Structures are given as structure tokens and as C-alpha cells.
Amino acid sequence: MVVKSQIKFIKSLQQKKYRNQHGKFVVEGIKVVKELMASHINAEVVYSTDVEFVEKHKDVAELISEADLKKISSLHTPNKVVGIFNIPTPQQIDTADWTVALDDVRDPGNLGTIIRLCDWFGIKTLLCSHNTVDCYNPKVLQATMGSISRVNIMYADLKTYFEGSAVPIFGAFMDGDVVYKEPMPKFGILVMGNEANGISNEIEALVTRKVSIPQFGSKTAESLNVATATAILLNEIKRSE
Amino acid sequence: MVVKSQIKFIKSLQQKKYRNQHGKFVVEGIKVVKELMASHINAEVVYSTDVEFVEKHKDVAELISEADLKKISSLHTPNKVVGIFNIPTPQQIDTADWTVALDDVRDPGNLGTIIRLCDWFGIKTLLCSHNTVDCYNPKVLQATMGSISRVNIMYADLKTYFEGSAVPIFGAFMDGDVVYKEPMPKFGILVMGNEANGISNEIEALVTRKVSIPQFGSKTAESLNVATATAILLNEIKRSE
């Protein structure tokens, strides 16, 4: 049985403020929970209605009723498990490799897709500005499909970090150099900007090379979505390796 | 004033069945409606609460009250205009150019992003299988950001079309040839598959070249989302031009 105070606690983890306060986040769905359990991320407790699952994971799993699952779930149709995990401590950035940095990306779906892209392209660290949407937001977790356990995600002040960094900083801009022109170096930082405003002025001032994806269609298409632009630029970085 | 029968008619256009029956679709939001009005797509009538807008577009615009706008809108917070447009007649496919074909893409956000990508990369025609989500679905229209007016979208039986076609048919597969290996031809068809199942067997049999985007990270990342994979492959096609 899940007691009232625990229900309240789990529900509170839907909010960033409480996630940061407790250093924990909540994940739903058998597939993603299993992926996280198999990763370096520590499970605090995993509630499940599935007897077999609980038997198999006795150390952290706890059997609950369908009624209790409904109480702690934020989904209309809860999917067997709700896991509480400890937010992992970020690892140091490997400056001999590529890092992706996000300057205030706000949409959970975009962040989730970008985490998945980092995983696919072997980008170890994703550096997020403090105003980027929280990666432990339930909508982000849903969009990452488990990739969140394989990418080191760090929130920091981009300006401070860039000022202390010696690696080339690439930024995506509408008016940058065509990205196909010159091969990409073996390491660096790729900065992607906010959905509506792009990269902020203070970060732009620290970018050492502005790149753009050329537009082949009519000049009326407004811009590429930040997640699709990240996909193309990561492919450009990796294809020149 | 919008009469009851008209409210019912507009609401019915939320469903594919009625859109096809009447050959019309409904769009909300001042920005997208304006883009469509400036395109080749014919507006039947545009309801608006904005006096200035209605004055400026007397030929098709009709002034309505906030209360009426709420009645015909499907949004929680309606955005000034609701436009009824005629579904355009698809144009013939230009076989001397690239065409993108979708084999049962089901997610409206993915289709919207792919339409926007076709617009960006100058792909004139998007050929959709009959089981691909309807491009006049309100969620698709929202995701296209107006690009729908600049891409020729056609629903057809892919198998029949491919069997009668002489151009190279490229398909995205997990086990295809690395796409960077050989330059892409000047024209062809790029087929992208369903989110869960990829390209169907009967379409796979007609594909003349299987391509894949190599995975650089741990082999655990499941797959790229269909929209990000389309972004990367269209970039590959266009960068070799």
C-alpha cells in the first residue's frame, strides 16, 4: 500500500522545484523504467502491479494495487510501473570530444529528441542553460525513450562555461557559413538556440564559428525546428570523422 | 453571426471523413491563416474577431463575435481567426526531381515536421500512403507552420505508384548501406517508414537502394525518430547536389 504522504511526495516530483529539492525524479512505463534500472541511474523504489516484475526486482520493487497505481500515476491509463530514481551527479565534460549546448530550449519534445540524437551520435555530454526545460520533466523523459540514461546532462551558466573554455564553439545561425564548406574539427561545442529567438546575444559573442544549413526551397520556409537542425548538424560533425 | 448548421459543419471538418467528403479543411491562428490566404490554396471563408483584418480581406473574411469564435474553434484559447479552405488538387509528380514518400507515418507531429523539411529542402512533392495520417489534420497543420501551402501533397497507393515508376527508390533501413558512401543521384524517391514498423515488406521489395544513417553512440539507442532521420537524409541528398 502506498501511504498518503508518499502519494503526495510522488506527485510533487512532477514539478522541477521538488525534483531539485529531493534530488529525485519519477518515470512511468515498463519499458523506460526497465532501461533506467539497467543503467547507472539508481532506483529508489519502483512500484508495480506486476507480480512477476516485483519478484524479479525484489531489491527495489514494491507490489501495489491498480487503485494505488492510479493514485500515484500522472497518466490517464497508467502503464504497470512508476519508478522513483535518484538524479545522477553530472560527470565532467570531455573537452577532447564534441559537446552539445542548448541556449534556452523550452519545448520538452525538442529536448527529448535532442537527448535521443546525442545518444545516437555518441555525444557524451549535453550542456543546458538554466532556462532550458528540465530534462527530468515527465514529457522530456517520455520523448527520450530511455536515452536519458546514456547521456550526461548538465545544467550550467553557458556564458561562464564558454568563457573558461578553449575549444571551438560552433553556433547554428540563419546567416552562418554553409556547414558543408569546411570539415568539422574533431572536438568542439555545438550551440543550438531557443525555438523562437535562436542563440542569445551574449552567447553569440562567444561563438567562434557560425554555421547554417542552407535552404533549398522557396525562401518562405521560416526555419528548421531546433531538433531537426541538431540532427543535421550532428550528422555533419560525425560524417567528417 | 455563425448559424448552428455552419458551426456543425466547421466542427465536422475536424474529422478526415468529412474533410474528404466536402473537399475542405479548417485552419486556426492568424499567422497560418494569413500564409494560406497568400498561397495558391483557396479560402472559402475566414471568420475573424479582428475588424481590421476583416476590412482588409473583405472578399473572404467575415466578422464574428468572440462568443461565436469560441463556438467554431477547437482550441482552448482561440486565436482571432478560423479559416475554411478548399483542399487543393494535387499536381503531377516531377520525376526529374526528388520526391519523398511516406509508408504509413502515423504521428501528426512527425508528418508536420516532414512537410516543413520538404519545404526547406525544396522537395516539391510528398507522396503519402493511404494509411499515413491526413495532412489536413489540425495537429499536422499546426506543426507545418504554413509549409503545407508550398508542398504538393498526394495520397496514393505506394505499391502501384512505385511499380509504374522508373526512378531509383531509396529506402531508410537500419541495415542499409551507410548513406555517406556513395553520392546521391540527382533525382529519385526517398521512402520513410512507419514509426514502429519501418517500411513494409511489400514496399521494401520495390526499394532499389537501402540506406542507413550510422549509429555512433552505444548500440543501445533504438532508432532515430522518422522526422529527424528524414532531416538527415534530405540534407545528404541536397549536400551532394
pLDDT category at B79 given cuts 50, 70, 90 is confident
Average pLDDT over residues A175-195: 94
Q: How many CB atoms lie within 10 A of CB B152?
A: 18
- Ranges A2-6, A179-183, B226-230, most confident: B226-230
Final residue belonging to a domain, choices A86, A111, A139: A86
Q: Please check whether residues B142 and B103 belong to one and the same domain.
A: yes
Q: Within a 13 Å sphere around the CA of A87, how many CA atoms are in the beta-carbon half?
A: 19
C-alpha cell at B205: 521489395
Q: CB-CB: which of A123, A224, A227 is closest to B120?
A: A224
CATH code, domain with A112: 3.40.1280.10
**Residue located via cell numbers 471538418:** B13
Final residue belonging to a domain, choices B59, B86, B113: B86
| Residue A35 within any structural domain of the chain | yes
Q: Please check whether residues B82 and B184 belong to one and the same domain.
A: no
Give the model confidence (pLDDT) of A40-93 as tens digits. 999 999 999 999 999 999 999 999 999 999 999 988 888 899 999 999 999 999
Q: Please check whether residues B69 and B183 belong to one and the same domain.
A: no
B85 dihedral zone (left: phi>0; alpha: psi -120 to 50; beta): beta
pLDDT at B31: 87
The mean predicted confidence, pLDDT, of chain B is: 94
The single-letter DSSP state of residue B212 is E
Final residue belonging to a domain, choices B41, B66, B86: B86
Q: Please check whether residues B62 and B103 belong to one and the same domain.
A: no
pLDDT category at B220 given cuts 50, 70, 90 is low
Q: Please check whether residues A112 and A64 belong to one and the same domain.
A: no
Collect all residues from B whose CB is shorter than 8 A from any CB in A. 109, 113, 116-123, 145-147, 150, 180, 213-218, 220-222, 224-225, 227-229, 231-232, 235-236, 238-239, 241
C-alpha cell at A232: 543535421
Q: Please check whether residues A37 and A15 belong to one and the same domain.
A: yes
pLDDT at A1: 76
Domain span including residue A40 = 4-86
Residue with the larger pLDDT of the pair B170 and A224: B170
| Residue A91 within any structural domain of the chain | no
pLDDT at B240: 82
Average pLDDT over residues B35-40: 92
Burial class (CB within 10 angstroms; exposed 0-12, middle 13-18, buried 19+) of B176: middle
Give the model confidence (pLDDT) of B62-76 as tens digits. 999 999 999 999 888
Give the model confidence (pLDDT) of A217-239 as tens digits. 777 667 899 999 999 999 999 99
How far is residue B221 from each of residues A73, A173, A198, A231, measured CA to CA in Å?
26, 28, 28, 14
Are the CB atoms for B158 and B129 separated by under 8 Å? Answer: yes
Q: Please check whether residues B119 and B200 belong to one and the same domain.
A: yes
| Residue B208 within any structural domain of the chain | yes
Are the CB atoms for B208 and B164 separated by under 8 Å? Answer: no
| Residue B93 within any structural domain of the chain | no
Q: What percentage of chain B has pLDDT greater than the value 90? A: 85
Q: Please judge whether B180 and A145 are an interchain contact, meaning their C-beta atoms are less than 8 angstroms apart.
A: no
Distance from CA of B45 to the nearest CA of A (A): 24
| Residue A92 within any structural domain of the chain | no
Q: Please check whether residues B63 and B9 belong to one and the same domain.
A: yes
Collect all residues from A whose CB is shorter than 8 A from any CB in B. 109, 113, 116-123, 145-147, 150, 180, 213-218, 220-222, 224-225, 227-229, 231-232, 235-236, 238-239, 241
Q: CB-CB: which of B123, B147, B221 is closest to A147?
A: B221
| Residue A93 within any structural domain of the chain | no
pLDDT at A114: 97
| Number of inter-chain CB pairs under 8 A, A vs B | 94
From start to end of chain B, where are the E strands? 24-28, 43-48, 61-63, 81-86, 98-102, 125-128, 152-155, 169-178, 188-192, 209-212
Average pLDDT over residues B106-119: 96
Q: Please check whether residues B225 and B106 belong to one and the same domain.
A: yes
Q: Please check whether residues A223 and A110 belong to one and the same domain.
A: yes
pLDDT category at A240 given cuts 50, 70, 90 is confident
Give the model confidence (pLDDT) of A118-159 as tens digits. 999 999 999 999 999 999 999 999 888 889 999 999 999 999
Q: Is the ipTM of this complex over 0.95?
A: no
Give the model confidence (pLDDT) of B131-140 as tens digits. 999 999 999 9
Using a CB-CB cut-off of 8 Å, the residues of chain A touching B241 are 216
Q: How many CB atoms lie within 10 A of CB A11?
A: 15
Q: Please check whether residues A74 and A8 belong to one and the same domain.
A: yes
pLDDT category at B241 given cuts 50, 70, 90 is confident
CATH code, domain with A60: 3.30.1330.30
Are the CB atoms for A111 and A133 separated by under 8 Å? Answer: yes
**Integer Cα distance of B152 and B191 in angstroms:** 16
Q: Please check whether residues B15 and B131 belong to one and the same domain.
A: no
The domain total for chain A is 2
Determine the residue of chain B that is closest to A144 in CA distance: B221
Q: How many CB atoms lie within 10 A of CB A158?
A: 27
